[in-house]
């Protein structure tokens, strides 16, 4: 006799909970270890919902429908509903104890998992409550065990905590929308694209002590962290460091009278900040082209890495847009040496959507990572499966993207049209197993999703199922055999005025292999390299003492050895760079750019939306001139900047645990702009040998610079003097700014001999010194002896008046 759909749905739940052998219902796929996954009622909307590319952390019922479960599939194909066996799940009307679950991740010995769950739904119509994702652990995963679920202690309880993994020391590393500094008036942080709520970054929690640390501050979000076999935190980061498109629209609306988003600036980040009738921005360049400058628009979801203490954040192995992205515009349109596109590396396969999502390492090939390249809307972060090599020893020049499924699967097919040849559906969450098998979530649908029902009875085109993937004769992988016979459930809930009902197959998501793994050493801030260690030693500064001081002041130091050297493939921003009177890197004829300063910007949540009268909750991050008072560097004529030393080096104090970015300038004029946000940990001394980092060779054909950075020497000397810039150095800095074509190169390190403090300007053969309160000037060959040009006070007063 045929079972009704409702009865079959209930049978599915009961049978699985009892551990009955479902392998008889479908072809059995044998796996060496169990696979844990979750089920989810289909949510056809794909903007900031549970399966979206971004903004997928929200716990409301429209974003994360209730009724899902944590399941385990044992190696012989037997299924078990773990949350049902733990007494935490039920079919039918979802009320106060309803759950939705996501992101299971095993401990190193595979004895437990950590996952996220949101608990509760309205018990009656019109009931409005706030629901947030929280972290839980589950033990008792064996076939004959009764699972036990406990809530993770000491986590942020008022915020959405998702995507947890165990660190090497059993801290829990996860993403959260907790504000960077915990202040509720900044909640939620709004992304840089749609000004939708986003997670603030990756966090690390010791559940026993309650120690909570922000590992990185990401203005638009970080997703799906994992710990690789080398101990690195590997994750996807959304990079969208461009000006606010809603503000640009509002500026146009003022002219046309069209709809306005109501963007505005707050005067600062405080709760009492004024709401200003102003939406100005200072960095980066505008989104629209000018006659000489390309507008900056980009949107990337690239693989990133950091240490488990949050230090050393950068793209995976410092791989760049030139190796991964599909295109890139030259920054200056009037420089023939700059080009559109990445011609030097176009022979490589690219990320077809500028995205690598849901990254997982291949346990059989350490340092090889699988992921999904998917469009940002319409497919629930499903698209093409790809892989990339990225072991710590892999140079970006030797890293590359390999297409695992057909290129046609990177995009949905058009409604009403035939699918592209070779399109085998859409894939997400690839999991390479220890047996060498590859499984993934798959839907045979090739079009973008839409609601095939209505609000009260939603339906989805997509039937996400766990599938074994196998290669065809051409080596292209496609879905082969289902790992389950399908799991159905009858669910209803209030949202909050509509009774939403669903009875049918659930999505199968978030698979992970439950296998004991070797626990890697915890990655932490590493020892200084030889050039920087040499400077510390020569200046007599104890590295640990300096780091302790930085940590106590919530500061870090950014160091570069020679900013004029740029990677050979980077032809989108100026690379013919010169420090006047100092080092230069000019491999071609054509335009040469002088650089004098590195100017820093900090990410402040000061952009509001919704109008100044009744703004929406939360704020967007804007780049603002660095103004953290603890990160005060010596003023050398450009606000929030440090001077570039004659050897091309620089060093600057920067605030920790806050998104930072920067640009090279020629005095006040921007030359090379950073395209990404980076954050630093307290006590970190971050060294980038050059900018943009050199893979193997620079534009001039040389490798990574190894000079002991004079910029670092100058910073350490200032630190030894109590961070007080001496009156002599203030006058030297002021004089260098007053005489731009003399005293070259700028900012040489001051010397002291026999009571004379002086600077020697080698390019112009000049000396400027101070002794016994008198300022001395000397130019050998042009005068017989140093000339007394006046008292120190005579020059110090105007220098102080101008901020030096």
Whether 698 and 614 map to the same domain: the answer is yes
Whether 738 and 699 map to the same domain: the answer is no
Boundary of a domain, candidates 449, 483, 513: 513
Q: How far apart are CA 775 and CA 789, in angstroms?
A: 6
Is 776 within the bounds of a domain? yes
Whether 589 and 697 map to the same domain: the answer is yes
User: 188: cis peptide before it, omega within 30°?
Assistant: yes
Q: What is the mean pLDDT of the chain?
A: 94
Tokens standing for residue 495: 């949202």
Whether 428 and 552 map to the same domain: the answer is no
Q: What is the CATH number of the domain that holds 402?
A: 2.120.10.30
Is 524 within the bounds of a domain? no
Is 398 within the bounds of a domain? yes
Boundary of a domain, candidates 693, 720, 747: 720
Burial class for 273, CB neighbours closer than 10 Å (0-12, 13-18, 19+): middle
Boundary of a domain, candidates 699, 720, 741: 720
β-pairing, 189-190 vs 619-625, is parallel
- Which pTM was predicted? 0.94
Residue 3 has pLDDT above 70, yes or no: no
Residue 328: predicted pLDDT: 83
Angle at the Cα of 7 (from 5 to 12), degrees rounded to 5? 95
Q: Which residue has 């760049």 as its token pair?
A: 320
Q: How far apart are CA 598 and CA 719, in angstroms?
A: 19
Higher pLDDT, 347 or 143: 143
Whether 93 and 185 map to the same domain: the answer is yes
Q: Which residues pair with 173 in a beta bridge?
A: 165, 204
Whether 705 and 736 map to the same domain: the answer is no
Is 261 within the bounds of a domain? no
Could you tell me the residue range of the domain that residue 795 belongs to? 727-801
Is 519 within the bounds of a domain? no
Whether 206 and 70 map to the same domain: the answer is yes
Q: How far apart are CA 699 and CA 106, in angstroms?
A: 45
Is 771 within the bounds of a domain? yes
Q: How far apart are CA 664 and CA 652, in angstroms?
A: 13
Is 414 within the bounds of a domain? yes
Residue 224 has pLDDT above 70, yes or no: yes
Residue 21 has pLDDT above 70, yes or no: no
Let me know how long the chain is.
804
Question: 242 with 234: CB under 8 angstroms?
Answer: no
Return the closest-CA partner of residue 580 out of 598, 563, 594, 562.
594
Q: How many CA atoms lie within 13 A of 258 on its CB side?
A: 10
Question: 281 with 244: CB under 8 angstroms?
Answer: yes
Confidence of residue 306 (pLDDT cuts 50, 70, 90): very high
pLDDT tens for residues 74-118? 999 999 999 999 999 989 999 999 999 999 999 999 999 999 999
Percent of the chain residues topping a pLDDT of 90: 91
Residue 346: predicted pLDDT: 53
Q: What share of the chain is helix, strand, coil (3-state, %, to 5)?
A: 15, 30, 55
Is 518 within the bounds of a domain? no
pLDDT tens for residues 374-403? 999 999 999 999 999 999 999 999 999 999
The helix-helix angle for 792-801 and 727-738 (nearest 10°) equals 70
pLDDT tens for residues 612-644? 999 999 999 999 999 999 999 999 999 999 999
pLDDT tens for residues 489-523? 999 999 999 999 999 999 999 999 999 999 999 99
Overall domain count for the chain: 3
pLDDT tens for residues 693-752? 899 999 999 999 999 999 999 999 999 988 888 999 999 999 999 999 999 999 999 999
Whether 137 and 171 map to the same domain: the answer is yes
pLDDT tens for residues 530-565? 999 999 999 999 999 999 999 999 999 999 999 999
Residue 320: predicted pLDDT: 86
Q: How far apart are CA 764 and CA 512, in angstroms?
A: 65
SS (H, E, C) 595-608: CCEEEEEEEEEEEE
Give Cα 502 to chain centroid, integer Å.
Answer: 36
Tokens standing for residue 608: 């509001």
Residue 35 has pLDDT above 50, yes or no: yes
Residue 408 has pLDDT above 70, yes or no: yes
Tokens standing for residue 793: 């006070």
């Amino acid at each position: 006799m045929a079972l009704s759909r409702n009865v079959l749905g209930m049978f599915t739940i009961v049978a699985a909970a009892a551990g009955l052998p479902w392998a008889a219902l479908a072809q059995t796929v044998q796996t060496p270890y169990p696979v844990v996954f979750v089920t989810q009622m289909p949510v056809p909307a794909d903007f900031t919902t549970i399966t979206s590319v971004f903004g997928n952390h929200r716990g409301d019922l429209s974003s994360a429908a209730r009724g899902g479960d944590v399941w385990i599939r044992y190696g012989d194909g037997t299924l078990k509903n773990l949350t049902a066996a733990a007494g935490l799940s039920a079919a039918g009307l979802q009320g106060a104890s309803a759950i939705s679950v996501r992101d299971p991740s095993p401990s190193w010995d595979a004895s437990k998992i950590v996952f996220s769950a949101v608990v509760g739904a309205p018990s009656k119509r019109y009931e409005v409550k706030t629901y947030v994702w929280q972290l839980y652990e589950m033990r008792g995963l064996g076939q004959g065990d009764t699972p036990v679920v406990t809530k993770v202690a000491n986590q942020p309880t008022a915020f959405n905590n998702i995507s947890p993994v165990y660190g090497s020391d059993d801290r829990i590393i996860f993403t959260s929308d907790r504000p960077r500094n915990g202040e509720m008036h900044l909640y939620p942080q709004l992304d840089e694209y749609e000004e939708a709520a986003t997670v603030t970054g990756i966090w690390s929690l010791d559940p026993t002590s309650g120690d909570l640390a922000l590992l990185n501050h990401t203005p638009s979000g970080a997703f799906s962290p994992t710990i690789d076999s080398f101990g690195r935190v590997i994750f996807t980061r959304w990079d969208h460091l461009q000006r606010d498109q809603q503000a640009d629209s509002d500026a146009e609306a003022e002219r046309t009278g069209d709809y306005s988003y109501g963007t505005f600036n707050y005067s600062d980040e405080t709760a009492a900040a004024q709401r200003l009738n102003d939406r100005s921005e200072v960095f980066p360049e505008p989104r629209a082209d000018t006659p000489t400058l390309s507008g900056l628009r980009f949107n990337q979801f690239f693989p990133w890495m950091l240490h488990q203490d949050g230090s050393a954040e950068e793209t995976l192995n410092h791989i760049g847009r030139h190796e991964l992205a599909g295109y890139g515009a030259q920054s200056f349109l009037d420089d023939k040496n700059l080009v559109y596109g990445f011609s030097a590396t176009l022979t490589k396969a690219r990320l077809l959507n500028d995205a690598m999502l849901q990254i997982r390492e291949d346990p059989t090939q350490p340092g090889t990572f699988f992921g999904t390249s998917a469009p940002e809307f319409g497919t629930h972060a499903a698209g093409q499966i790809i892989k990339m090599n990225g072991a710590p020893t892999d140079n970006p020049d030797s890293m590359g993207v390999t297409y695992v499924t057909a290129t046609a699967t990177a995009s949905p097919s058009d409604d009403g049209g035939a699918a592209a040849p070779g399109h085998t559906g859409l894939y997400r969450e690839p999991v390479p197993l220890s047996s060498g098998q590859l499984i993934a979530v798959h839907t045979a649908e090739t079009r973008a999703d839409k609601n095939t029902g209505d609000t009260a009875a939603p339906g989805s085109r997509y039937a996400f199922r766990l599938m074994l993937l196998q290669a065809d004769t051409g080596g292209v992988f496609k879905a082969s055999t289902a790992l389950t016979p399908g799991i159905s459930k009858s669910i209803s809930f209030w949202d909050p005025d509509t009774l939403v009902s669903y009875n049918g197959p659930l999505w199968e998501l978030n698979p992970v292999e439950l296998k004991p793994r070797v626990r890697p050493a915890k990655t932490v801030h590493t020892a200084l390299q030889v050039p920087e260690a040499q400077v510390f030693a020569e200046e007599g500064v104890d590295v640990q003492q300096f780091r302790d001081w930085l940590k106590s002041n919530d500061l870090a130091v950014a160091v570069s050895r020679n900013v004029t050297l740029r990677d050979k493939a980077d032809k989108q921003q100026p690379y013919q760079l010169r420090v006047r009177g100092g080092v230069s890197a000019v491999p071609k004829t054509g335009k040469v750019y002088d650089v004098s300063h590195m100017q820093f910007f900090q990410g402040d949540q000061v952009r509001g939306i919704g109008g100044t009268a009744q703004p929406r909750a939360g704020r967007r991050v804007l780049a603002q001139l660095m103004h953290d008072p603890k990160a005060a560097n010596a003023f050398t004529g450009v606000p929030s900047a440090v001077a570039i030393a004659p050897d091309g080096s620089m060093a600057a104090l920067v605030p920790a645990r806050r998104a930072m970015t920067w640009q090279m300038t020629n005095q006040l004029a921007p030359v090379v702009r950073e395209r990404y946000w980076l954050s630093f940990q307290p006590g970190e001394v971050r060294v980038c040998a050059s900018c943009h980092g050199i893979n193997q060779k620079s534009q001039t054909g040389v490798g990574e610079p190894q000079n002991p950075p004079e910029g670092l020497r100058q910073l350490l000397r200032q630190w030894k003097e109590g961070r007080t810039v001496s009156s002599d150095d203030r006058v030297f800095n002021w004089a260098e700014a007053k005489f731009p074509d003399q005293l070259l190169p700028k900012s040489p390190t001051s010397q002291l001999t026999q009571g004379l403090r002086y600077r020697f300007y080698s390019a112009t053969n000049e000396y400027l010194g101070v002794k016994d309160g008198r300022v001395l000037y000397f130019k050998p060959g042009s005068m017989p002896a140093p000339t007394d040009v006046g008292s120190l006070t005579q020059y110090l007063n105007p220098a102080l008046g101008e901020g030096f």
